[in-house]
Chain A
């Protein structure tokens, strides 16, 4: 770092405010007032760069305060813009941590591939470099990743969606500007990005309901202790309560220890006529039970990303979630916000509905019944299905 002894002695006081009184103080002015450090030291110190000693940082900050220095957002915007034209020599690096054994395994999961692609394109837009780090079996342990990031001076981190088996991440959070994607089971109050699962369940319910299905059931999977399906249930229960046909079907949650015939007995016992589920592979199972889709049982997937079999259901915007995560982490970087926030907060990205072959207008009789009950519901459906707010059923 800079040695003050090697410098010419700082000028006496008049040099502190050589500019007109109303001019904006610059880093050079601060450098001079802070005892003749280099302006780049000022820049680093104001960004809490770990390479600057605490004493120097304090001295620089005191000088900045004294001069009333404020970062210039216009220059910041200009820099962002300029970087689109000029290649940056050493762009800041964002680490994207993914919970996969291999890169090809990640690419095979359509959700995670989309998250990663979205994150990459946002990083490019913001002139940051993004690097994928895999943790998990045969890959890095979180501890090892932590020390690699430290050694390379990488301070921004996106925790890509973690699988339920990963419950603990040993990072020195105070060193990082970090956000996480989904992973509600990770009990770390990081700023979180997620697709809007509550909206997904509501949208799927409403779509099926408006097609004439009346005994809708929610079927989700979770491994022990995870909270992954909570928001699906929150949305589903809300719509179920809203629909006039009381005698609600209780949601069914499958765990690894569930008996194989539990789905069939749930369908029969509750006379379920449509299923909203977080898996895609339900239709073949229903066929094996002798239930015809969509005539006898309708089906909507809560995440139909990557499906090629024309399943009806929700398409979350995973790429947007990944992009938003990078945008947020860059935002944190710019204001040097590191460590865990005192309070958790979460940003949800809206989802949309995709038509498919696994649900259909029930029948003329069903439809008439529906129209009698809710004369405007069909138009309303068209208008509202993909909008943010759902009109409550009367």
Chain B
């Protein structure tokens, strides 16, 4: 094969032009012998069983274990990445195990998990592995969860929606310059992707990692919440997550709890029904409250469920239907 062959990857908006023998920006798609190959297919670098609350998903099968896996690489390069050791590594740089889709599904069933999460790094870059595994998982009665930055083109996102039951999507900030400078990506495709997921019936929860001085401005947070309210609806849960110094941003302190509490209050005032504070253990903002009568519906401590008072997905006091996938 000629060394000058050039391939265009249209999986994500980066539209990498990959020369024979080279990889795309995500490091996981390499042009070899006249075609681009997904080199992390069936080779996860992290496999764990987590509580579903860790994703975080608070309105999706609460209290259940979820089989979680990741493959190396990422199409974003967030300077604050919490999983940078695997997301910013090339597949050949880290240890992987051999786990084809059939083995993933068999292991998830054996471990009595009800769902599989494609997480830690971004499932976008192990797209083929995700779609094959998810389709097989569906046939065995398992649900599929993506934990993603949502930086993907429309066509592959449509394909992903067909096999995804729930997603926690990172909305890193409501600002194009932030996405460009801090993540080497863009905001618009992420917003479009979330709207598409909502339209296709994927259960969606949104996480916003609040980083001191970078995206903790309440004006920006208000704008983000207003966009969510009008495009995703008031029932889309929002998690304000606490930043911890990591990767290239080690010079900042962890997010003060007060900042997160203020952001949550703004979001509730704007009209979002379910707003949580993440990475802060033992907070009252971990619980799910009925948006109509204020009753505590699901009481949490960290990732564990202390009480689940929901009755068939409804508030036991006022009977309001609570949005989510409860069984």
Q: Do A and B bind each other?
A: no
